[in-house]
Amino acid sequence: MQDNGSSDPTQPTNHRLYRPFANLRLLFLALLCRNISVPYRIAVRPDEDAVTFLSSQPIANMINTITRYLRDGWGYLAVTDILFKLLAFVFLAPAVGLLFRLFVAVSGRDVLADTDIVRFLIHPLGWLTVFVVGAAVVCLFAIELALLMSVCMGVQQRQIPRPRSALAFVVSKSTPLLRVAGHVVMRCILTALPFVGLAAFLFWWLLTDHDINFYLTDKPPVFWRAVGAIGLVLGAMAVTLCIQLIGWVYATPIVLFEGLTANQTLTASRQRVGGHRQTVFTALVTWGGLNLAVRFVLSLLVIWVTKTLIWYASSTLSLLVIAMGLMILLVSGTNLILSILANVTLATTLTGLYVCDRGADRISVPQWPVLASGIAEHFTRGRVLSAVIVLPMVSALLGITLLRGVDLEDRVEITAHRGGAFKAPENTIAAINQAIEDETDWVEIDVQESLDGVVMVIHDSDLKKVGGNPTKIWNATADSLRQVDIGSFFDPSFQEQRLPTLDEVLKICRGRARVNIELKYYGHTQNLEQKVVDIVEANQMQDQIVVMSLEAQGVAKIRKLRPQWTVGLLTAVVAGDLTRTPVDFLAVKDTLATPAFVELAHSRGKTVSAWTLNDPYTMSLMISRGVDNLITDRPSLARQVLRQRRAMSPLERLMLEIAYYLGINPQLEWNE
């Protein structure tokens, strides 16, 4: 067999050597050896004794070893990684997901949203969930890395194993791998806890005098001091964790090839890395930098190719559908390649570091069945031709699937967020009247109780942002709250605006616009749900309102009081299947309103509202996805978008969805 330069007759004939990565050693060498004063040489015999060479030429030996792995085994490494990803997709990842669902179910909930997630994570059961699920995820990654390292060691020993042989070997080591993963997760949690606790203390000390929205909107000096202090603490945590993780880079190969216990493994890895931490750090930084550079270049290339493809196919719907499918294949394929490249290069880098540290002759590797042929032999002319024929068919199928997620008929309503907070102060009578004038279908307001039990319309826990008054809503009577000017912060022309009550808002909206009442909870509620029910019924507006909240318990109380009312859950983040929540509608952040989510929610009899949409492109995108309600500060703009969309062809609407996948935000000419 030709070995591209080596005349050693002992070279095996069971696989081909690949030269595409031959010059990679020079690049690695230049980056790794920069600022490191260590004698090295470029040319290294592959069969030279590793221990002898390590003492005099560590960097060059490591680079040569990594280059050999990539040159001789890149095809086998890629195939092994793909097969593991398929296995993880079918079996392992669902098992981790099921484990998480089990812990959530033990907490008494099927799904966690927003504040529920915070409460869950500070509960002991939440800590246990983070530990167990985190260990499972780390173990998955460790198994993947172990498989690739096994192939690398096969290249080192000149007997590349079959993927199933490598998998069987790694599975036999799964118990110690899981133990090491558990130790890593636990130690990382224990390391992070003091930093997280200090950051939480700083937040409590500096940013809890007023409602958080005041700090986020006005950004006073104390806000920047808090950001700086918390940033320093979290930065120190990140550095500490990185140092700790760098010390454990040999953990996986030690488990595979030395059989130490979990504690012994981490201790041994840390001791070995201690002698050449700078080299390990430089190698890992180089790996990360090269992968980021490749990702950046490939992303630019994919964007250019897809833009060009869509441009030439945009004349007809049929060509556009095929082009969309090709776009999905190209993007998905590129992401897969980048993932494989990152995993393979990380495995080769870590294996190279380990071999150079340990010495190849001191590593015990099983006698694996050897592959009989190279990867290239599997790419026959017939198989390549079949792929070329099947590719357009698959592209068309994917394009049609994407087309099904685009709603070509607009069936959407408009909700004025906080009464319509773009043209007038939020949650004021002026904003509500303006929203009704701008043809909104719904007015969304926030309600909470004052000290004397009056249901007031206000979002924040105090009036600091809207009125410069730090008094908490639950510490003041309704009359005293209504003395505060809540309009001048927006514009002096609104200085007469005062805090409205729920009763006042309902009387203004009755027969003009329906009302979405969001229940706000700051830990001082007396009997908010019952009072809302009483006020709504006193105004005979049961059929003109809906009720929602971030708090699932509050929604459940309304449902218990009035089962026939329409209720919804408001959320920005979620863990679990949100569509199984026992509500009538889901008000979600626009990033959660994917075509699949909207379709699943509709199939389970729930409508979807997306918030807070204030630009025409996102509005149009959500409409195309079949969202039932747009929650926006700018109802007049949303109405204009709907008018403009009526004049669009199905092809033009489809192009908006494509623009999203390409990461393009078209500057649409829509004006209020």
Residue 163: its pLDDT value, please? 78
Taking the CB of residue 363, how many other CB atoms lie within 10 A of it? 18
Taking the CB of residue 418, how many other CB atoms lie within 10 A of it? 25
Q: What is the pLDDT of residues 583-622, one digit of tens each?
A: 999 999 999 998 889 999 999 999 999 999 998 888 988 9
Q: HEC states along 362-394?
A: HCCCCCCCECCCCHHHHCCHHHHHHHHHHHHHH
* Secondary structure of residue 484 in the 3-state scheme: coil
CA 203 – CA 223 distance, rounded (Å): 9
- Across 73-95, b (16+ Cβ under 10 Å) vs e yields bbbbbbbbbeebbebbeeebeee
Cα angle 589-595-597, degrees, rounded to a multiple of 5: 60
Lowest mean pLDDT among 70-79, 239-248, 315-324, 344-353: 315-324
DSSP state of 263: H
Q: What is the pLDDT of residues 406-449, one digit of tens each?
A: 555 678 999 999 999 999 999 999 999 999 999 999 999 999 99
Answer whether residue 563 shows pLDDT above 90: yes
Residue 661: its pLDDT value, please? 60
Q: What is the pLDDT of residues 235-262, one digit of tens each?
A: 999 999 999 999 999 999 999 888 788 8
| 406 vs 551 pLDDT, higher one | 551
Burial of 42 (0-12, 13-18, 19+ CB in 10 A): exposed
CA 15 to each of CA 75, 144, 160, 646: distance values in angstroms, whole numbers, following the listed order: 10, 23, 9, 62
Structure tokens at 305: 């190719």
CA 130 – CA 558 distance, rounded (Å): 32
Q: Are 625 and 405 in contact (CB under 8 A)?
A: yes
Q: What is the mean pLDDT of residues 203-214?
A: 93
Residue 318: its pLDDT value, please? 66
Which of 343-357, 428-442, 570-584 shows the highest mean pLDDT? 428-442
Any idea of the CA torsion for 434, 436, 437, 440, to the nearest 10 degrees? Answer: 110
CA 304 – CA 301 distance, rounded (Å): 5
| 664 vs 205 pLDDT, higher one | 205
Answer whether residue 396 shows pLDDT above 60: no
Structure tokens at 521: 């909870």
Lowest mean pLDDT among 271-275, 325-329, 488-492, 629-633: 325-329
CB-based contacts of 565, cutoff 8 Å, min separation 6? 542, 545, 546, 547, 558, 559
DSSP state of 317: H
Answer whether residue 203 shows pLDDT above 90: yes
CA 430 – CA 412 distance, rounded (Å): 25
Q: What is the pLDDT of residues 474-509, one digit of tens each?
A: 999 999 999 999 999 999 999 999 999 999 999 999
CA 402 to each of CA 242, 285, 319, 327, 652: distance values in angstroms, whole numbers, following the listed order: 41, 38, 14, 11, 15
CA 165 – CA 86 distance, rounded (Å): 17
Cα angle 303-337-599, degrees, rounded to a multiple of 5: 65
To the nearest whole percent, how much of the chain has pLDDT over 70? 76
Say which residue the tokens 């609407």 belong to. 653
Q: What is the mean pLDDT of residues 50-60?
A: 45
Answer whether residue 61 shows pLDDT above 70: no
pLDDT tier for residue 7 given thresholds of 50, 70 and 90: very low
Mean pLDDT of the chain: 81
| 377 vs 488 pLDDT, higher one | 488
Domains, the chain, in order of start with CATH, read: 28-364+376-403 (no CATH), 413-661 (3.20.20.190)
